[in-house]
Amino acid sequence: MTDTDANVPREDDEIEGRLLVVDDDRPIREGLRRVLTAEGYDVRIAEDAEEALRLARESPPDLVVSDLNLPGRSGLELIAALQDYGIETTVVVLTGHASIESAIAATRRGVYDYLTKPVDRANLLDVVHRGLERAALRREVLLLRREMMQSGRLTRLVGRSPAMLELYREIEQVAPTSASVLITGESGTGKEL
C-alpha cells in the first residue's frame, strides 16, 4: 500500500460518530448501547424525549436512534423539537408497533430510516453506518457552500449595494436549510441566477 492509498477511505472503514439512543425500555436502550459501542461509536442514552433534548443541546449528536413511542413527548415530537432547536442530525426511528401511518408521519418529519423491533443487529449497524455517511456528507456540503459563499465563487450575482449585501446575508441564512424558496420579480430581472 502506498502513502496515498492510506489517505483514501475504504468502503469498509469505520465511520466515527456521536450517537444518541432514546428508548424508555431499559434492556433495549442498554442493548443498543452495547452493540453500538462495540462498533466504536460514542453512544449516549436517554430514556425520554426531555433527557434526549438536554443531551442533544449539550453536545449535538451526529445520529439519533429513537423509539417512536416515548413517555411524554413521542419520538416524532422529539424530532420536531430537535429541529426547533436548530439541531441538524440524522434520525433513525425504532418501533414495536409499526404502521403505514407512523412510517409516513416519520418520513414527513425527515426521518432517515424506520426500523421495527426486534431490530436485526446487522441491519441496525448498516443503517447507522449509512446514516452517519449521510450526516458527514451533509456537513461537508454545508462547509463547502459556506466557503464558496464567502469567497464569492458560489454566486453569479453581481453587486455590492446595500440591497444586494442584504440579499447575500439572506441567502447565507437559508442556504444550509432544506427550506423551499420562492423568488418573484419582473420578467428579465435575473431570477434564474
pLDDT reading at 6 higher than 90: no
Contact 76, 87 (CB under 8 A): no
pLDDT band at 10 (very low <50, low <70, confident <90, very high): very low
Contact 61, 21 (CB under 8 A): no
pLDDT reading at 151 higher than 50: yes
Count helices and strands (H / E) in the chain: 7, 5
CATH number, span 9-141: 3.40.50.2300
Check residues 61 and 173 and name the one with the higher pLDDT.
61
Q: What is the pLDDT of residue 161?
A: 80
Contacts of 180 (CB under 8 A, 6+ apart): none
Give the three-state DSSP class for 167: helix
| Cα–Cα distance measured from residue 48 to residue 190, given in angstroms and rounded to the nearest whole number | 49
Which stretch, 60-69, 138-147, 179-188, has highest mean pLDDT? 60-69
74-106 tens-digit pLDDT? 999 999 999 999 998 999 999 888 778 888 888
- Residue 124's identity, in one-letter code, is L
| Cα–Cα distance measured from residue 82 to residue 151, given in angstroms and rounded to the nearest whole number | 31
Question: Of 51, 48, 6, which is closest to residue 23 (Cα–Cα)?
Answer: 48
E strands, 18-67, in order:
18-22, 42-46, 63-67
How many C-beta neighbours within 10 Å does residue 50 have? 15
pLDDT reading at 24 higher than 80: yes
47-70 tens-digit pLDDT? 999 999 999 999 999 999 999 999
pLDDT band at 147 (very low <50, low <70, confident <90, very high): confident
pLDDT reading at 160 higher than 80: no
Check residues 158 and 30 and name the one with the higher pLDDT.
30
- Residue 6's identity, in one-letter code, is A
For the entire predicted model, the pTM comes to 0.68
